[in-house]
Amino acid sequence: SVKADERNSYRVYTKVMQASTRTRLTLAGELRQAIARGEFHLVYQPSLDLRTRKLIAVEALLRWQHPERGEISPAEFIPLAESLGMVRAVGAWVIDAACRQIRAWLDAGLPMLRVAVNISASHLRHLQFVEDLRTTLQQHRCPPEALMIELTESAILHIGERSRHTLAALHELGIGVAVDDFGTGYSSLAYLKLPAIRTIKVDQSFVNGLPDDANDAAITRAILALAQSLGLEAIAEGIETEPQLAFLLAAGCLEGQGYLFARPLLPDAIAALLAESRMPPTSGAAPNAAMP
């Protein structure tokens, strides 16, 4: 009967809900211990000069290697961290790890690379944010120009007076801010005038539809024109195909990242790319390639 069906589906639904609540609770406990257990690491996605395809920056992306569940996406555990009030602890870990990595690459004699980190709104709002950041930079003797902070559009829009001061302090420190997922949030553009804001990241949902989707093409062109007329850098994200790249180049976009060029990589792979980019271009047989 319909009633029995309803009851069954209700029971199934409740079971799923209970399971996911249990999973959530377990995960929450495990997230609290993840840092101490060394289960976090950063991967670095290359960002390239689109004309030369040379590596010019990287974006640090957080990975949680769970002992039983394997890799858990930040899209899943960052919101969980938010709801548990753990965003500051996680964010501080990310900044420390990124600065440590910047120092390690510099100490290895590699050219300086700009490293972008993603920061949650509630972390940015913390009173100690800039002071903590300054301390971490000093601890690792990390030049502030080497770090960039990515904030989502909605994070910036919800900033109050305090975050306005925070952004000004970041600007003073010499740290640039990029607006992540641009175009997907609310529609106020006033914050783009803040001097701390240097970069707009064209969201991958727009890049996806290029070059054929007329709306995505129009939005992308408009974002690039806006960036250009405000004197902001633009970085396109999620570039997966040559036609997308061709469109972006024709529209005047100078920097981008995406699977067409590289997936997020481990530090050694980034170091190899950096070392490679420093070597003179090889044509034909390398001088030291001939081995007896």
Query: Site map for ligand C2E, 175-214, x if CB under 6 A?
Result: -----xx----------------------x----------
- Could you say whether residue 85 binds ligand C2E (CB under 6 A)? no
Task: Report, in Å, the least distance between residue 193 CB and ligand C2E.
Answer: 23
**Per the structure block, which two tokens stand in for 91?**
């964010």
Query: Closer to ligand C2E at the Cβ: 61 or 232?
Result: 61
Burial (Cβ within 10 Å: 0-12, 13-18, ≥19) of residue 131: exposed
| DSSP calls for 205-270 | HHHHTTTT-HHHHHHHHHHHHHHHHHT-EEEE----SHHHHHHHHHTT--EE-STTT---B-HHHH
What's the rounded Cα separation, in Å, for the pair 178 and 197? Answer: 6
110 in helix, strand or coil?
coil
User: Which is nearest to 250 in space by CA: 47, 50, 49, 48?
Assistant: 50
Query: Closer to Mg ion at the Cβ: 155 or 159?
Result: 155
What's the rounded Cα separation, in Å, for the pair 199 and 237? Answer: 12
Task: Report, in Å, the least distance between residue 207 CB and ligand C2E.
Answer: 8
Task: Report, in Å, the least distance between residue 71 CB and ligand C2E.
Answer: 10
**Binding site partner of 94, from Mg ion, ligand C2E, none, Cβ cut-off 5-8 A by kind:** ligand C2E
- Could you say whether residue 153 binds Mg ion (CB under 5 A)? no
- Could you say whether residue 124 binds ligand C2E (CB under 6 A)? no
**For Mg ion, which residue of 153, 181, 216, 255 counts as binding (CB under 5 A)?**
181
Largest CA distance in the chain: 83
- Could you say whether residue 273 binds ligand C2E (CB under 6 A)? no
Binding site for Mg ion (CB under 5 A): 118, 150, 180-181, 237
